[in-house]
């Protein structure tokens, strides 16, 4: 099955498949680079949205909580009897971010506050040189938020100063200390060390670090390598209150990994902070990996599909090839067969050609012999010297030869009519007795002269046959003529007739030379003579039996021969009974 041709086509096929798979992998690798940047961009966009949400929420919270203090400070009745104590309690509970709320009177002394345990009552700013913010709000009339610091109360927080005026007169300041713990608890988030939130202010001071890497109050810039431009760039943008994404490389015990950062500003009165949200590059890698896995699955399925389809196509082509080969073999066989039959036809044609030549020479001979006899006789007669007896003999010879030629021409005309189906049959009920009598009478002279006995045995009750009377006579004259012709002196020729169902069989038998079985099947062919030399002596040119057969069959009958060389021959003619 795996011949050389098939092996080559398999190699070509394998190369095509490999090229196909190779190009798919190439395109896949190329797509990966793009996929990576797209996924990273998408990831950072999402992260930035989250950061914006966190920063916005923190900003809202802080501003809203300080606004509560502003509302308290702007009460119509001015400083109430209880020095804001009841409002402080309410705001403290509602706001939930203050460590303490205090009221500092115009002299800079803490005069009230809530919760009481956190209030340093009587503490005076002037005596402790802590008047800057107090005087600032007094002079500007604006809320002021101090930079977050570790306070004397022992917490890390920012001071919110809200001035109180009564009829345009400065009456003191409300002070709310916001602890970072309290802010953060509002945004309780879980984090692992790689994904965390941090907050810096506009000077780079770390206000909150969820990863607990850096201490609060320290400056991020101090922790950052001056050559780490990526990280410095991010920090710079944060300090300038911008919003955006960035990434930087970070050393880890296992080497280095890159960190994705999104940042968004928080504006809280005069304070400008920035929330940063970090994720490790691995997060993107994980997503990309899952994308890769999907892509690889698709690619693998595609490759398998291509392999499957290609193998199917290959099998179809192989089968097609085989079918073609089989078809070609079949056609070749058919061609050989038709070639053989052509050769056979050619041989037959050559045979026919030989027969034709034989026929021509035979016909010429048959025509020439009587002509020669007639010419010689005529010349004798012309000389007018012969006596009357000789003259009569010569004239009889001429007449015999004319008859012989006329018979030959009649035979030729008959065979041509039979073959072209132009022979007319005048079918009628015919008495076999009468026909055979007539035929025997016709042959009588010849049999007598040859010394061959003629006998007829026909039952009187034999029914008539459906036939053309004259043609029937022609048939039996022919058969009897042959029988006598091929029977030696003292032999005999007999005609028998018998019923056989709807038919009547007439058997012309002789005790003549017989016919060899190898010739028996050919003797009904036209121009066929077993021994042309003897035939020629006996006259005839091989047309007699062909005409006989044509006439018998033209009358819906049949003819066959049974013979044994040296014993004799039996020609059996089967005819239809009349009136059936
Ligand atoms: P022809 O007219 O030359 O006799 P036929 O067609 O009548 O031709 O006969 C064909 C050949 O069949 C003869 O040449 C002869 O050899 C053979 N044949 C015909 N009848 C007989 C017979 N009764 N006995 C032996 N041979 C016969």
Q: What is the pLDDT of residues 483-527, one digit of tens each?
A: 999 999 999 999 999 999 999 999 999 999 999 998 888 899 887
User: What percent of the chain has a predicted confidence (pLDDT) above 90?
Assistant: 60
Burial class, 340, CB count within 10 angstroms (exposed 0-12 / middle 13-18 / buried 19+):
exposed
Q: What is the best residue among 359, 483, 486, 509 to mutate for testing ligand 1's pocket, by most ligand atoms within 8 Å of CB?
A: 486
Protein residue closest via CA to atom 18 of ligand 1:
482
- Given this chain, do its domains 188-285 and 428-576 carry the same CATH topology? no
- In whole angstroms, give the CA distance from residue 474 to residue 407: 11
- pLDDT for the residue 528: 78
- pLDDT for the residue 534: 46
- Residue that has been written with the tokens 């941090």 in this structure: 198
What is the overall mean pLDDT for the chain? 89
Alpha helices in 420-542 (DSSP H): 432-450, 469-485, 517-520, 532-538
Straight-line distance from the first to the last Cα atom of the chain, in angstroms, rounded to the nearest whole number? 68
- pLDDT for the residue 78: 78
CA dihedral 204, 218, 55, 230 (to 10 degrees): 50
Q: 74-182, superfamily in CATH?
A: PAS domain (3.30.450.20)
Neighbours of 499 (CB within 10 A): 13
Q: For the chain, state the CA radius of gyration.
A: 69
- pLDDT for the residue 49: 94
Long-range CB contact pairs, 383-392, < 8 A, 24+? none
By residue count, the chain amounts to 580
- In whole angstroms, give the CA distance from residue 192 to residue 173: 42
- In whole angstroms, give the CA distance from residue 187 to residue 209: 13
What phi, psi does 529 have (nearest 5°)?
-130, 135
Choose between 133 and 151: higher pLDDT. Answer: 133
Domain 188-285, second-level architecture: 2-Layer Sandwich (3.30)
127 pLDDT higher than 90: yes
Residue ranges of the domains in the chain?
Answer: 74-182, 188-285, 428-576
Ligand 1 in contact with 515 (CB < 6 A)? yes
Encoding tokens for residue 408? 């030959």
Domain 428-576, second-level architecture: 2-Layer Sandwich (3.30)
Choose between 75 and 448: higher pLDDT. Answer: 448
Which pLDDT tens digit goes with each residue over 241-257? 999 999 998 887 878 88
Alpha helices in 384-468 (DSSP H): 388-419, 432-450
- Residue that has been written with the tokens 């003259």 in this structure: 391
Q: Indicate which atom in ligand 1 lies nearest the CA of residue 487.
A: 24
Which pLDDT tens digit goes with each residue over 528-571? 777 655 444 555 678 899 999 999 999 999 999 999 999 999 99
- pLDDT for the residue 397: 87
Question: Which of 25-39, 108-122, 217-231, 309-323 is least confident?
Answer: 25-39
- pLDDT for the residue 252: 78
Stated as kind and residue range, the H or E segment containing 132 is: helix 132-140
pTM for this model (two decimals): 0.49
329-351 average pLDDT score: 94
Q: Using an 8 Å Cβ cutoff, are 215 and 249 in contact?
A: no
Ligand 1 in contact with 545 (CB < 6 A)? yes
């Amino acid at each position: 099955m795996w011949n050389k041709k098939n092996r080559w086509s398999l190699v070509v096929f394998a190369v095509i498949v490999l090229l196909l798979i190779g190009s798919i992998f190439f395109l896949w690798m190329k797509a990966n680079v793009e996929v990576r940047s797209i996924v990273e961009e998408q990831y950072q966009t999402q992260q930035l949205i989250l950061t914006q949400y966190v920063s916005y929420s923190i900003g809202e919270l802080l501003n809203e909580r300080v606004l509560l203090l502003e509302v308290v400070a702007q009460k119509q009745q001015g400083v109430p009897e209880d020095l804001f104590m009841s409002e402080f309690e309410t705001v403290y509970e509602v706001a939930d971010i203050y460590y303490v709320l205090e009221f500092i009177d115009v002299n800079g002394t803490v005069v009230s506050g809530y919760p009481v345990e956190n209030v340093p009552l009587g503490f005076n700013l002037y005596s402790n040189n802590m008047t800057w913010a107090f005087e600032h709000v007094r002079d500007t009339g604006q809320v002021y938020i101090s930079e977050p610091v570790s306070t004397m109360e022992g917490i890390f927080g920012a001071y919110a100063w809200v001035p109180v005026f009564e009829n345009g007169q400065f009456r003191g300041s409300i002070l709310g200390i916001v602890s970072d713990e309290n802010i953060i608890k509002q945004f309780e988030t879980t984090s692992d060390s790689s994904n965390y939130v941090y907050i810096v202010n506009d000077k780079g001071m770390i206000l909150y670090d969820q990863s607990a890497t850096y201490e609060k109050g320290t400056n991020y810039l101090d922790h950052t390598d001056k050559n780490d431009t990526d990280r410095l760039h991010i920090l710079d943008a944060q300090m300038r209150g911008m919003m955006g994404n960035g990434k930087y490389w970070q050393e880890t015990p296992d080497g280095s990994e890159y960190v994705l950062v999104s940042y968004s500003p928080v504006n809280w009165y005069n304070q400008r902070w920035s929330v940063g949200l970090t994720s490790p590059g691995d997060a993107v890698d994980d997503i990309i990996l899952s994308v890769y896995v999907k892509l690889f699955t698709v690619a693998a399925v595609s490759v398998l599909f291509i392999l499957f389809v290609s193998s199917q196509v290959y099998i179809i082509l192989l089968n097609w090839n085989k079918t073609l080969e089989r078809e070609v073999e079949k056609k070749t066989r058919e061609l050989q067969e038709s070639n053989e039959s052509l050769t056979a036809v050619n041989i037959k044609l050559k045979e026919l050609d030989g027969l034709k030549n034989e026929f021509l020479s035979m016909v010429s001979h048959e025509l020439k012999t009587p002509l020669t006899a007639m010419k010689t006789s005529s010349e004798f007669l012309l000389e007018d010297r012969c006596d009357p007896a000789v003259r009569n003999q010569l004239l009889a010879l001429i007449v015999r030869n004319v008859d012989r030629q006329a018979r030959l021409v009649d035979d030729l005309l008959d065979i041509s009519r039979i073959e072209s189906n132009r022979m007319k049959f005048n079918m009628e009920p015919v008495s076999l007795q009468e026909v055979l009598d007539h035929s025997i009478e016709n042959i009588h002279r010849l049999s007598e002269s040859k010394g061959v006995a003629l006998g007829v045995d026909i039952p009187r009750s034999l029914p008539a046959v459906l036939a053309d009377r004259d043609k029937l006579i022609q048939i039996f004259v022919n058969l009897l003529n042959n029988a006598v012709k091929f029977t030696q002196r003292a032999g005999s020729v007999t005609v028998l007739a018998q019923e056989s169902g709807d038919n009547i069989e007439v058997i012309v038998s002789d005790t003549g030379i017989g016919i060899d079985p190898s010739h028996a099947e050919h003797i009904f062919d036209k121009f066929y003579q077993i021994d042309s030399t003897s035939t020629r002596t006996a006259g005839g040119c091989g047309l007699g039996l062909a005409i006989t057969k044509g006439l018998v069959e033209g009358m819906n009958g049949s003819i066959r021969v049974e013979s044994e060389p040296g014993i004799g021959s039996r020609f059996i003619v089967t005819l239809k009974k009349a009136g059936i």
